[in-house]
Structure 1
């Protein structure tokens, strides 16, 4: 089992911009502990000199008082300096860890963010990060200082009376062993309840997000999954509470037990005449201070153990491995083209492949519509082109070079992506379009906005282009957010556009603007669209039909695929039938 100090110090050092700060701070803390231990040890000869009115170790009581005064002033000064150094290290940690996490997040492929990590990252770099900083500000220093003081007290006891030194020497490892057992119980308790709490948090989020469906079915007050997870979390927490309480009781009982044992030992030695009464009383006082020091060590160890999950989360982020990429950009021999050669891909944790043996060539300047049943891998195909993930087999090439041979910056410069969940930054309407190409002129931004129908949106808003859209664009409707996203793509003027059309849920006005923007895009770029509309499917230069197993079933234009029958013909028939639906009066 690893002591918290050795394990956590190594972790914290990796997260500092200047690891020497931590080494220096711990060195000063050790110095503070050394002075404190010497001051406590000096009580033994000082009390003996006071009681006997004789010189002890060459000093009378006046000399020992002077020694204690000097040590007291030195202890204050060094403890203050140690606290300052530990706070300096904590502030360095807070500055450094934001940069380390930010740099690491920026290196991860886009597929990494498909996991439920956004909320965890948000907590990690805010309140939880401050809690991790407390390890340096309030925990490691006292642990190092008190540990050193305890060691000095044991050594002084050996010098004063070997028998008393032996008593303290035996007590120390017993105490350390019990402390390790206590922290193990705390860790076990945390492991028991954390999974159920995570599941409960997920259920609460789901309960909040699906209120519309729950209320429409009359189940807003009795969501069974939430109730089950609450029950499971309650049971796990109760079991964990007993385990953690056992750890705390064991630690507290150990401290008090050692106090009683030391007092009984000193009293017995005094009664038997082995130890003079005054030194025995002095030793009892020293023993009480020794056990108080051990108690501080226990509290610090427990506090460190409670912070271990935060360090585990930080390690998970900092050790995440980004997709490999070259140091230099690749040579692009066919700008605007896309080639997939025998591509296969399976999501992590899934038993079934999302795509199998996909071979496809998209020439520059063409529009390709991808169709297929739900779960056929349409969005996955687009994400492989953007290198959200690396294909498990085969090659994905963009612009005439494999995406794996291109730097992230080079690949992203060739692509504009407009997916269903269009995200807007918490800024103005104007700035959310301008982010597509920051160096663009006002005229170019206005032209892109006009083509995507955003000008009409700005005209309806109270502050026009300066209207704040809110975090995620919540101040706008879904269709309006998609218009802004399309305006970005138009402004960027990338040679390739990946578009999840998703117009089936849009009203007529928004749909018309989206269709117009798509027509604008296909004039200047290669467009790969996950098609949902009849007009888009028919007008595409090439239609790619995927079957439900993620295989390429057919490639051709509308007439060719319709004549061939199969999945595409069925898809087309369903689309035509659904377009004829009307709500009856």
Structure 2
């Protein structure tokens, strides 16, 4: 456990933890020695050797002073170590979060990450001092006493030694039982946290569904499972701790029986027997405390196990030396990809030329958004190659792709901050005036004009104070500010009001200049003005591709799709008197 914890510590945190544990060990040994010295001290008092008793008393006091000093250093170093370990754990967790492929987040991991970053990391960081210190003292001090007992009476010491492997097995069983229960409980807690967060986010939709919706049932089931696992953890942990305490008390019983037998036989003097029995009682007390705290180590081990899972999660391959793209045209060569099931794209091949706009159209579920995610390297294809500037994306590396690509997806997330700061994250190196200029080009200034606070108005959690179209304008402003040569736009304007649709259309015109623009297109105006149109067939391939004029002239699937969209856009509801 200690070795695994040190693996996640920074060099400074590692030094502090080792120094802390060294002080704890020294303090425990000195404590054991102080208790051992009680035997000759009590023997001298029983026999009336006052001068000898005074000498032994001074030695006991010296050991006690050494114990106090070592304990003080352990506590002082322990507080610094806890802070440093917490910093190390959060830093390692942060590194894992940003290095994991986006596919890992395809299922909601909010509860898991939140639990690790808060309760889990805090518990593990304080574990060396709050728990491990007492466990080490609980075993090392009695161990020192046990070894020293052989110098006074090997028979009593042997009777205690016989119980050591039994106590060790009991402690191992205790730790494993509590560890299993805590792992199941932590999974249930993460699931219930996910459901509660999901329930909170979906309130606008859920309130229209009324009481008894499926979301209510899912939250209730997740909380019930959490309570069930917690009850199981309490039952398992309580039973294990009780059994361990019973084994420890059994060792004291063995010592009392053997001591009484030796005293009756006259082979051990009463003074030595009393002193050794006192040591036997002192031998047991720390062991019981260590058993009570043994479950804490198992709980901390669960957090370390989670961090190990993060470390073992497969990352996207990265090149030793990232290549440089020769331009920013995007090409798909025989790409096949699915989300762990049937392929969404099959042998897909097309090119989005540099400096032009390529519109992706097709039926729902045909893989339009998947194309943009592959370009952004959220995933790598199962087969085939995605290239930027003639270079396969894996050879460029994630960092190069992230710098070259600015994605604007349907599900825009805004942080609970000001409008200007939400745009600013597109390029933190620019000035506030440059940020506002880019946002104005995306017509975010129209949003600002209606909000109290202007550019410093807060958007709410997830941008809840703004409409969907307004959130997308902010996202487009981020893309403009980033000034990346490739822009991916999942337009999704079909459900927007006319004002936001026109504003986003103007923003797209701003983005087009000198960039490779790939648009999952819904607006007729966007489709018609694209330099190239790629129409997917719904089976993972391409049905038709070409310019708007070419595809209309061919009279194929695109021509029918276009007429349907035009007719739908021209529908009007008639009223009757």
Quote the residue 1:309 is aligned against. Answer: 302
Give the counterpart of 1:133 among 106, 125, 132.
Answer: 125
Alignment of 1:12-161 (within 5 A): 12-18=5-11, 19-54=14-49, 60-161=52-153
1:308 and 1:566 map into 2 onto residues whose CA distance is 62
Quote the residue 1:323 is aligned against. Answer: 316
For the 8 Å contact 1:21–1:88, the answer to whether it is kept is: yes
Give the counterpart of 1:280 among 260, 273, 278.
Answer: 273
Change over 3 Å in CA distance of 1:217–1:146 after alignment to 2: closer
Quote the residue 1:5 is aligned against. Answer: none
Alignment of 1:291-440 (within 5 A): 291-333=284-326, 335-347=327-339, 350-440=340-430
Quote the residue 2:180 is aligned against. Answer: 188
Change over 3 Å in CA distance of 1:90–1:446 after alignment to 2: closer
CA shift for structure 1 position 321: 4.2
Q: Which deviates the most, 120-129 or 296-305?
A: 120-129
Unaligned runs of 5+ residues in structure 2 are none
Give the counterpart of 1:545 among 506, 529, 535.
Answer: 535
SS in 1 for 2:293: helix
Give the counterpart of 1:475 among 451, 465, 477.
Answer: 465
For the 8 Å contact 1:366–1:526, the answer to whether it is kept is: yes
Change over 3 Å in CA distance of 1:548–1:250 after alignment to 2: farther
Deviations 1:407-445 (A, max 9, x none): 433222221111112233444322333333344456644
Alignment of 1:461-472 (within 5 A): 461-472=451-462
Change over 3 Å in CA distance of 1:119–1:408 after alignment to 2: same
SS in 2 for 1:370: strand
1:107 and 1:201 map into 2 onto residues whose CA distance is 23
Kindly report the root-mean-square deviation, in angstroms, between the aligned alpha carbons of the 2 structures: 2.6
Q: Which deviates the most, 570-579 or 486-495?
A: 570-579
CA shift for structure 1 position 13: 0.8
SS in 1 for 2:439: helix
TM-score normalised to structure 2 length: 0.91
Deviations 1:79-124 (A, max 9, x none): 1112223333222212222332333333333444434234433342
1:226 and 1:432 map into 2 onto residues whose CA distance is 31
For the 8 Å contact 1:367–1:540, the answer to whether it is kept is: yes
Deviations 1:476-529 (A, max 9, x none): 332222111112222332221100101123222111110111112123312101
Give the counterpart of 1:513 among 503, 511, 523.
Answer: 503
Unaligned runs of 5+ residues in structure 1 are 1-7
1:167 and 1:202 map into 2 onto residues whose CA distance is 53
1:414 and 1:127 map into 2 onto residues whose CA distance is 38
CA shift for structure 1 position 363: 1.0
Change over 3 Å in CA distance of 1:132–1:441 after alignment to 2: closer
CA shift for structure 1 position 323: 2.2
CA shift for structure 1 position 27: 2.0
CA shift for structure 1 position 563: 6.4
SS in 1 for 2:513: helix
1:345 and 1:294 map into 2 onto residues whose CA distance is 57
CA shift for structure 1 position 60: 1.3
Give the counterpart of 2:282 among 247, 272, 289.
Answer: 289
For the 8 Å contact 2:167–2:248, the answer to whether it is kept is: yes
Q: Which deviates the most, 197-206 or 407-416?
A: 197-206
1:29 and 1:489 map into 2 onto residues whose CA distance is 55
1:281 and 1:249 map into 2 onto residues whose CA distance is 28
1:208 and 1:443 map into 2 onto residues whose CA distance is 36
SS in 2 for 1:100: helix
CA shift for structure 1 position 134: 1.4
CA shift for structure 1 position 244: 2.9
Quote the residue 1:449 is aligned against. Answer: 439
Change over 3 Å in CA distance of 1:234–1:122 after alignment to 2: closer
2:555 and 2:245 map into 1 onto residues whose CA distance is 77
Change over 3 Å in CA distance of 1:181–1:439 after alignment to 2: closer
SS in 2 for 1:416: strand
Give the counterpart of 2:168 among 169, 176, 179.
Answer: 176
1:513 and 1:210 map into 2 onto residues whose CA distance is 27
For the 8 Å contact 1:419–1:500, the answer to whether it is kept is: yes
Q: How many residues align?
A: 572
2:73 and 2:367 map into 1 onto residues whose CA distance is 61
SS in 1 for 2:539: coil
For the 8 Å contact 2:86–2:121, the answer to whether it is kept is: yes
CA shift for structure 1 position 34: 1.0
Quote the residue 2:260 is aligned against. Answer: 267
Deviations 1:310-345 (A, max 9, x none): 212222334444323234442322x23101111112
Deviations 1:141-163 (A, max 9, x none): 22223322121111111111000
